[in-house]
Structure 1
Amino acid sequence: MTTIALVLATALLLYVVLHTRRVLTWIVIGAFFAVALGPVVDWVQRRVLGGRRRALATFLVFLVVVVLLAALIAAFAVPLVNEGTRFAGQLPGLIDDARAGRGPVGDLLERTHALQWVQNNQARISGFASGLTAPVAGALSGLASGIAGTLTVLVLAYLMVLEGPRVVEGTLNVLRPATAERVRRVGADCARSVTGYLSGNLLISVLCAGLTYVVLLVLGVPFAGLIALFVGIADLIPLVGATIGGATAVLAGFIHSVPAGITVLVFFVLYQQLENHLLQPVVFARTVKLDPLTVIVAILIGAELMGILGALLAIPVASIIQVILRDVWDHRRGELKDEPTVGEDRRPALAAK
C-alpha cells in the first residue's frame, strides 16, 4: 500500500507540474527577480528610509524597474512606428514604380523576372496569403500571453520581495536552531550567486551595447542607438546572444554601405572572441564561482530543456546546485565554517581545522 501510494503521489505530482508548467515558470522567474532586487530594496530601506517602511522601499524600487522597462519599450516602439508610418506613405509610390519597372525596386524586379513570376503564380500567392490568418492570430495570442506573463512575473516578484523576509523567518523558526542557521547561510550564499550572475551579465551587456553604439555612430549607420540597445538586450542570452545581436548590426551596416558592413563584421568577430575568452570567464568566475566548462555545460543543458529561458537560468541554477553540494560536503566531511564554501579557491571545511 505504501508503494502504491508513493507511485500515485508521484504520478499526481507529475500531472500537476505538466499542466501548471507555465505558472511554475512565472514563479521561478519571479523568484529570480525577487532575489536580484531584494538587496536593492534592503539598501533603500536601510539607507534612505532609516530601516523602516519596507513596503515603500519595495514600491520605489519596482517603480524604477517599471519605468526602465517602459523606456526600453518606447525606445523600440517609437522608431518602429515612425518608420512604419513613413513606409506606409511611400508604399503606393513604390508599388507603382515596381509595376512600371522604375526605380531600384522596379529595376531589381525586372532583372530577376519577379513580376513575371508573380503574374504566373497569383492563385498560389493568394492561397498563401489567406493561410497566414492562423499564424497571425497565433502570434497575437502569444504576444498577449507574453504581456500577461510579464505583468504576472512583476506582481509575483513584488510580493516575494515584500513578504519574503517574513515568510523565510517564519519557516526557519519551525526548524531546529542549528538547521535554521545552516539553511539561512546556504540561502544567503545562493542569493549572492544569483545577484552576482545577474549583475555580471548586465555589466557585459552594457559594455557590448556601448561599444556597438560607438562603432555604428562612427560609421554613420542609421538608428545606431536602437541597434545597440537590441544588441545589448540580446547579449543577455549566454553564448548565442552576442551572435544574434551582431548579425542584426552587421545587416544594418551592409544596408548602409559595404565598407560599414565589413567593419561591423570585423568588430563583432573580435568582440565575440574577447567576450567568450576573457570577459565571461573572468566575470562569471568572480560572481558565480563557476569554471568555464561548467558554464558551457549548464547552458547547453538548460537550452535543451527550456530553450532561451533555460539558457538564461542555467548559470545561476548551476551555481545554486554547487553551493548546496559544497554545503552537504562540508556537513558530511567536516564542520560548518563562518562563511559557506564557494568556488574552488576556498579550502574545504575539513582542511580548515
Structure 2
Amino acid sequence: MTISVQPPRERVPVRTILTVIGLGLATALLIYLVLQTRQVLTWIVVGAFFAIALAPLVGWAQRRLLGGKRRALATFLVFLVVFLVLAGLVTAFVVPLVNEGTKLAAQLPRDIADARAGRGPIGDLLQRFHVLQWIQDNQDKISHFASGLTAPAAGVLAGVATALTGTVTVLVLAYLMVLEGPRIVDGFTNLFAPTTGERIRRVGADCARSVTGYISGNLLISVICGATTWIVLLIMGVPFAGLIGLFVGIVDLMPLVGATIGGVVAVLAGFIHSVPAGIVVLVWFVLYQQLENHLLQPLVFKRTVQLNPLTVIIAILIGVELLGVLGALLAIPVASMVQVVLRDVWDHRRGRPKEEPTVGEERTPADDVGNVTDGEGRVGVGHASS
C-alpha cells in the first residue's frame, strides 16, 4: 500500500499581502487626488505646453539680444510681446463687437418691423419658411424657455470668470517654467547617468521643436484663413466682415474642424446678406479647404513631426473627450511628442540611430549614437553627423 505525501503548501508572506493592499490604496488615493485637482492639473499641463513652445524664443532672445546672459530679462521681453499680441487680438475682437452690437441695437426695431412685414433678406427667409407663423403658434413654449435661461446665464458668467482666472494662472506658470527651465532640466537630468541624461536632453529638444513648429505653423495658417475670408466678405459687401474674418481665423486654430465651423458661419452671413454673396463665399471656402489641406499644411508643417491622418483624428477625439476645445488644440502637438519618444525608445531597442530625423528634413536625430556599418560591412559604434 502506497501512501502519497502531499507537498507542503506555500504560504504567502504577510509582507506581500500588505504590499499589494498598500499599492491598491495608494493607486486609489492618487486617482482621487487627480480627480479633485483636475482643474489645477489642466492649468499646469497647458502652462508646460506654452513654456515648451516659448522656451526657444527666450533662448534666441537671450543669445542674440543679450549676449547669452540675463535670462530673466529675455523671458520678460518674450512674454511682454506675447501679452501685447493677445491683448491686440482681444481688442480687435471686442471693440468691433461692441461697435457693431451698438449699431445692431439701434437698428434692431426697424429690422424686426421689416422682418414681420416680410421685407429684406431676413423677412423673405421668415416668410418663405413660415417662421413667423411658427413663432405665433408657439409663443407660450418660447416664453417658458426664455424664463429658464437665467441659470444657464449665471453658469456662463461663472465660466467666463474661471476662464480669465485660468488664463492668468497659465501665463504665470508658463513664465516661471521658462524662467527656471534650465535649472529644472539640469537638476532632472543629473539624476541619471551622463549618457541617459544627454539622451533625455536630445529627445526633449526634438519635442520642443515639434511643438514650436506646430504652433507657429498653425498661427500662420489661421492668419491666412482669417485675412482671406475678411477680403472675400468685404468684396461681397457682407456686414461685420472684419468680425467674421477674425472669428474664422481664431476657430481655424482648431485642427480639422475649425475651418469648417468658421466657414459655416461665414457662408450663413453671406446668404443672409444676399444669395450671390452666399454662393461666392461657399465656393471660396471649398477652394480654400483644398488649398489649405494640399498646399499650406504640407509647406508649413514640413519641419514638424508628421502624423498620419488616422493618428490625428484619434488624438483629436481623445483630446476633445478629455479637455474639450482645449484638448483639440493640444491633441496634435502632444501626439507628435509621444511619437518622438516612441521613435527614440524603438531606436534604442534596435541599437542603432534612426534612418530619418525626428524633426525636419535635415536635422540631427534625437539619438545620434549607435551601431554603424563601415565600408567593408562590419558593424561598429559611431556617431551620426550633426
Q: TM-score, normalised by structure 2?
A: 0.81
Partners of 1:264 and 1:147 in 2: CA distance: 34
Structure 1 gaps, min length 5: none
Is 1:252 matched up with 2:269?
Answer: yes
- Residue 257 of structure 2 corresponds to 240
Is 1:114 matched up with 2:132?
Answer: yes
Count of aligned pairs? 350
Within 5 A, what are the aligned runs for 1:137-286?
137-286=154-303
AA at the equivalent of 1:114: L
Contact 1:326 1:341 in 2 (8 A): no
| Worse-matched range after superposition: 140-149 or 339-348 | 339-348
Partners of 2:353 and 2:125 in 1: CA distance: 73
Q: Encode CA deviations 1:136-172: one digit per residue, 9 max, x unaligned.
A: 1011111111111111111111111111111111222
What displacement does 1:7 show?
A: 1.0
- Residue 145 of structure 2 corresponds to 128
Q: TM-score, normalised by structure 1?
A: 0.88
Contact 2:352 2:371 in 1 (8 A): no
AA at the equivalent of 2:243: L
RMSD: 3.0
- Residue 342 of structure 1 corresponds to 358
- Residue 323 of structure 1 corresponds to 340
AA at the equivalent of 1:183: I
Max Rg structure: 2
Contact 1:239 1:276 in 2 (8 A): no
- Residue 288 of structure 1 corresponds to 305
Partners of 2:256 and 2:80 in 1: CA distance: 31
Candidates 105, 127, 131, aligned match of 1:88: 105
Partners of 1:176 and 1:21 in 2: CA distance: 33
Partners of 1:285 and 1:113 in 2: CA distance: 50
Measured at CA, do residues 268 and 351 of structure 1 come closer, stay the same or move farther in structure 2, by a change above 3 Å? farther
| Worse-matched range after superposition: 222-231 or 149-158 | 222-231
Helix, strand or coil for the counterpart of 1:287? coil
Structure 2 gaps, min length 5: 1-17, 374-386
Measured at CA, do residues 122 and 259 of structure 1 come closer, stay the same or move farther in structure 2, by a change above 3 Å? closer
Partners of 2:294 and 2:356 in 1: CA distance: 29
Contact 1:189 1:340 in 2 (8 A): no
What displacement does 1:35 show?
A: 0.8
| Worse-matched range after superposition: 255-264 or 132-141 | 255-264
Measured at CA, do residues 217 and 317 of structure 1 come closer, stay the same or move farther in structure 2, by a change above 3 Å? same
What displacement does 1:245 show?
A: 0.8
What displacement does 1:260 show?
A: 1.3
- Residue 11 of structure 2 corresponds to none
Contact 2:118 2:126 in 1 (8 A): no
Contact 1:281 1:292 in 2 (8 A): no
Measured at CA, do residues 275 and 296 of structure 1 come closer, stay the same or move farther in structure 2, by a change above 3 Å? farther
Identity, % of aligned positions: 68
Moved over 6 A (4+): 105-111, 343-351
What displacement does 1:59 show?
A: 1.1
- Residue 60 of structure 1 corresponds to 77
What displacement does 1:350 show?
A: 6.2
Partners of 1:249 and 1:208 in 2: CA distance: 12
Measured at CA, do residues 9 and 270 of structure 1 come closer, stay the same or move farther in structure 2, by a change above 3 Å? same
AA at the equivalent of 2:230: Y
| Worse-matched range after superposition: 7-16 or 327-336 | 327-336
Is 1:48 matched up with 2:57?
Answer: no
Q: Encode CA deviations 1:172-208: one digit per residue, 9 max, x unaligned.
A: 2222212211111111111111111112212221222
Partners of 1:107 and 1:327 in 2: CA distance: 62
What displacement does 1:42 show?
A: 1.1
Within 5 A, what are the aligned runs for 1:68-87?
68-87=85-104
